[in-house]
Amino acid sequence: MSDIVKVGEHQNGQQIELEQEQALRVTLLEVRTAGFRWILRASNQQIRAPLADDTNAESAVIGGAAQHHWDFRATTPGTTDLVFEYDRPWARAAAAARTFSVSVRVAETSSHAAHQPT
């Protein structure tokens, strides 16, 4: 198992699978100097609220795109959708400029497998 699963705009609309307690990092590009922000709109109990929510300041040149990162941890078996909307918070239109979603399936960890004799 990889310690952290990384997803970005190329995985938009796809399903990914995590094991319980596995970490997930979502990275999306945004043009903060133009007022655009990615905002997490939907998740549920299979994924904890973001453990981290930060922007890579080194990539935030004037007029350029910055990398926005969210770190999550899978907690409860099941499936959930993470939905992000890209918009200017103060100029909210009827629909977001863009959306990003990924369906996350959290697999049940077999607790008895760890206790099998070798």
User: Tell me, what CATH number does 39's domain have?
Assistant: 2.60.40.2020
Helix (H, G, I), strand (E, B) or coil at 53: strand
Q: Which amino acid is at 36?
A: F
Considering the domain boundaries, does residue 45 fall inside one? yes
For residue 11, is it within any domain? yes
Tell me the pLDDT tens digit for each residue of 66-110.
Answer: 899 999 999 889 999 999 999 887 776 667 889 999 999 999 876
Domain region containing 17: 4-109
Evaluate whether residue 82 is within a structural domain: yes
Per-residue pLDDT of 14-73, as tens digits, reads 999 999 999 999 999 988 778 888 988 876 766 776 777 778 765 546 667 789 999 999
Q: What is the pTM of this model?
A: 0.80
Strand 15-19 and strand 98-107: the pairing is parallel
User: Would 114 be classed as within a structural domain?
Assistant: no
- C-beta neighbour count of 61 within 10 angstroms: 9
Is residue 118 situated within a structural domain?
no
Number of domains in the chain: 1
Question: In Å, how far are 22, 36, 40, 111, 117 from 85, measured between CA atoms?
Answer: 24, 10, 7, 37, 48
Assess if residue 116 is contained within a domain: no
